Structure 1
Amino acid sequence: MTEILTDPEMVPEVLVERRGRALWLTLNRPSALNALNRPMVLAIHRALFDAAADPDVERIVIEGAGERAFCAGGDVALLARRGREDKVLFEGFFHDEYRMNQAIARLVTPYVAILDGVTMGGGVGLSIHGPYRVATERTLFAMPETGIGLIPDVGGTHALSRLPGEIGTWLALTGARLQAADCVHAGIATHFVPAERLAVLRDLLATGEEDVGEILSTLDAPAGESSLEALQDGIDFHFAHDSVEEILASLDDGDDWAQAQAAAIRTMSPTSCKLTLLGLRMGADAAIEDALVTEYRMVCEIRNGHDFFEGVRAQLIDKDRKPLWSPASLAGVSEEDMTRYLQEPESGDLTFE
């Protein structure tokens, strides 16, 4: 029997339910591709905290309403419209989201994310830090933040830097999109379950006496052939450099695929590309908490700049797809600029008490 733990007179944006042995979280904004806002972040974090203290909760499951998306990211359009004038709104969203990401990473209770549909940005942060991540044939994964003047945050600098070889660097700089088989190959998804079997999976996660790993193993199926296998050597060769300029120079001397990657990177915010690579290299040896603190410093300073507001305008609001970055080139982004993004914000660092 399903027990609804939310106000029955409202239609909440996060459904919090007890289904047998599981606490079940459903992102409930299907018309917005389940994009996260601050109230949703707070509701999820509170539910995780309560579940961790409840001995009757044996596992936590999170998924998105509808068949189009698990979670397409954070509600960056709102942040772009109001964030420049409203510092508390802008910083508060990232502050609370990152604390939620850290809670997921440190959960003791088994945590299962069902990545059925679009999984980008904030949706990555809701899933990739947990131990079980289930893809379906509808999964579409990306971290496209450099295209909106942001960075692959939500702990992305920590998680992407731990993918095989330089896959994470490639994903972060180009915003490349992955299908299910690629996600399995890269370790982004731990299991593949066809969408037609999700009802069975839900039932077993709610009522099954086996542990989560055993349940997922019984339904795990081949995801198909990954295109990443053929690209891995090229990705590792070109994206191992520690400056965006060196990566581009390597790609420019490569084959058609490599040159296409260079062309994609040159459409992105130069500042975001440099910050992203810096964050990835710093995050490779950092604890999740340290990576999130660095990301928080970066996004707080991003608010003081131009590219985030311009990127969201061009990609999501006006949709002319023609952002005017400032600085417009990598050469215009100095080392002094990079240092500024690593300073503690005036409002203070992110903490996890």
Structure 2
Amino acid sequence: MASQMMLVEEKSDVRILTLNRPKQLNALTSPMISRLLELFLSYEEDPNVKLIILKGQGRAFCAGGDVIACVNDIRRGCWRLAADFMYKEYALDYVMATYGKPQVSIMDGIVMGGGAGISVHGRFRIATENTVFAMPEAALGHFADVGASYFLSRLPGFFGEYLGLAGARLDGAEMLASGLGTHFVPSMRSKELIEDLCGSGASDAASISKIIDTYTQQPHLKESSAYHRMDVIDKCFSKNTVEEIIFALEREIAHKTDDWVSKTISSMKKASPTSLKITLRSIREGRALGIGQCLIREFRITSHVFKGDISKDLVEGCRAILTDKDNSPKWKPSRLEDVREAMVDQYFERLEDDGWQDIEFPTRPYNLHPPKISNL
């Protein structure tokens, strides 16, 4: 089954891995994650493999992890099974972030949640005119994970807080401008680029980059792009609390209509108050941590979210947005002011449950940090 969901092509010293669940927007299942982890680890040891290319079939690169499957496990009382899924996903993200060989991710189409985890941690991140990037977890009652506390916290200014809290969507040009993408290549040229990479024999980052550069274009940022609003983003999203961020945004439109600000406020007010507070603290703390530390901490938070002792917002959010689709989640607590700091603290503490352990990463041969986000 995993072999059908994950296509593998061997071309000279290049391996092309294609996520193949187009009807499900290539959402990651547990077998897909296991297969990717197995392949990446084996290729790292194989001297005949010099480069890995990761792409998606259809109109998505990858829309994230299979959240519905996780929530179904939680509903059946099997939250640990759902947490095991995330354990493997974070382990894969860590391997990619500390990988010894170049990875080229062709982000042609939707890149959300877990899809960001398996692409943004790689060395080369190619956006196209079809790219739609977002970290929409707070709207589902979760938080921006898969190492987002590392890569969002390293974006220019407070752009990462904006993406994590508002769940805002970026196009390919915005991904390139923010540094989430390293190159912009028109979708129709991606096949030609892959063929060129496979036939070049290039194995070092500089040679690969030179090949990609020949296909790269400088896309035009739309006038409506959030990237043109960095002054407002930095002014508002630098505040210490979610309440202060929303208040600062509301002051921006007190005397002047601004559709972009209004939309940002609306998105945040629809999201889970608990998720917003977790996300903000996670991104802020992530600035001072390495990728491994970020993923270990995110797994603690995820385990608490899945166990549901503090809040059951994830189950409710998935019901409202993904299954029943009434888009009217009943968050508990329903107001930001009712989410006390002590409650947020609990998510960051080690989960005390019989036999439960923090995620542990084995010593890696390449003690690397993820590639530097450009523009820093």
TM-aligned CA deviation for residue 62 of structure 1: 0.4
TM-aligned CA deviation for residue 198 of structure 1: 1.1
Report the AA paired with residue 280 of structure 2.
L
Cα-Cα RMSD: 1.3
Distance 1:99 1:262 in 2: 34
Distance 1:209 1:220 in 2: 20
Distance 2:316 2:79 in 1: 17
Distance 2:261 2:108 in 1: 30
Aligned to 2:274: 271
Given that 1:150 and 1:308 are in contact with CA atoms closer than 8 Å, whether structure 2 keeps it comes out as: yes
TM-aligned CA deviation for residue 17 of structure 1: 2.6
Aligned to 2:372: none
Report the AA paired with residue 329 of structure 1.
R
1:92 matched to 2:88? The reply is no
Report the AA paired with residue 74 of structure 2.
G
Aligned to 2:325: 319
Given that 1:194 and 1:221 are in contact with CA atoms closer than 8 Å, whether structure 2 keeps it comes out as: yes
Aligned to 1:63: 55
Distance 2:41 2:92 in 1: 10
TM-aligned CA deviation for residue 11 of structure 1: 5.1
1:21 matched to 2:13? The reply is yes
Query: Mapping of 1:260-339 within 5 angstroms?
Result: 260-303=263-306, 304=308, 305-339=311-345
149 and 229 in structure 1: CA distance in 2 versus 1, 3 angstrom threshold: closer
TM-aligned CA deviation for residue 205 of structure 1: 1.8
Pairing partner for 1:349 from 354, 358, 361: 358
1:117 matched to 2:106? The reply is no
- Runs of 4+ with deviation above 6 angstroms: none
Larger deviation, residues 338-347 vs 283-292: 338-347
1:234 matched to 2:232? The reply is yes
Render the CA deviation track for 1:74-124: whole Å, top value 9, x for unaligned: 100111122241123211011000000000000010011000000000000
Aligned to 2:71: 80
Aligned to 1:49: 41
Pairing partner for 1:252 from 243, 250, 253: 250
Larger deviation, residues 266-275 vs 247-256: 247-256
281 and 47 in structure 1: CA distance in 2 versus 1, 3 angstrom threshold: same
1:183 matched to 2:192? The reply is no
Report the AA paired with residue 51 of structure 1.
Y
TM-aligned CA deviation for residue 242 of structure 1: 2.0
Report the AA paired with residue 253 of structure 1.
R
Q: TM-score, normalised to structure 2's length?
A: 0.89
Q: TM-score, normalised to structure 1's length?
A: 0.95
Aligned to 1:4: none
Structure 2: any 5+ residue segments left out of the alignment? 363-376
Given that 1:121 and 1:144 are in contact with CA atoms closer than 8 Å, whether structure 2 keeps it comes out as: yes
Pairing partner for 1:223 from 195, 219, 225: 219
SS at match of 1:133: strand
Render the CA deviation track for 1:32-68: whole Å, top value 9, x for unaligned: 00000111111101111001001111111100012x1
Aligned to 2:208: 212
Aligned to 1:149: 141
Distance 2:339 2:117 in 1: 28
Given that 1:185 and 1:228 are in contact with CA atoms closer than 8 Å, whether structure 2 keeps it comes out as: no
1:128 matched to 2:137? The reply is no
TM-aligned CA deviation for residue 244 of structure 1: 0.4
Distance 2:8 2:210 in 1: 25
SS at match of 1:102: helix
Sequence identity (%): 38
Distance 1:261 1:77 in 2: 26
SS at match of 1:23: strand
SS at match of 1:96: helix
Distance 2:105 2:74 in 1: 30
Given that 1:248 and 1:262 are in contact with CA atoms closer than 8 Å, whether structure 2 keeps it comes out as: yes
Given that 1:253 and 1:259 are in contact with CA atoms closer than 8 Å, whether structure 2 keeps it comes out as: no
More relative contact order, 1 or 2 (CA 8 Å, 6+ apart): 2
TM-aligned CA deviation for residue 335 of structure 1: 1.3
Distance 2:50 2:89 in 1: 24
Distance 2:159 2:231 in 1: 10
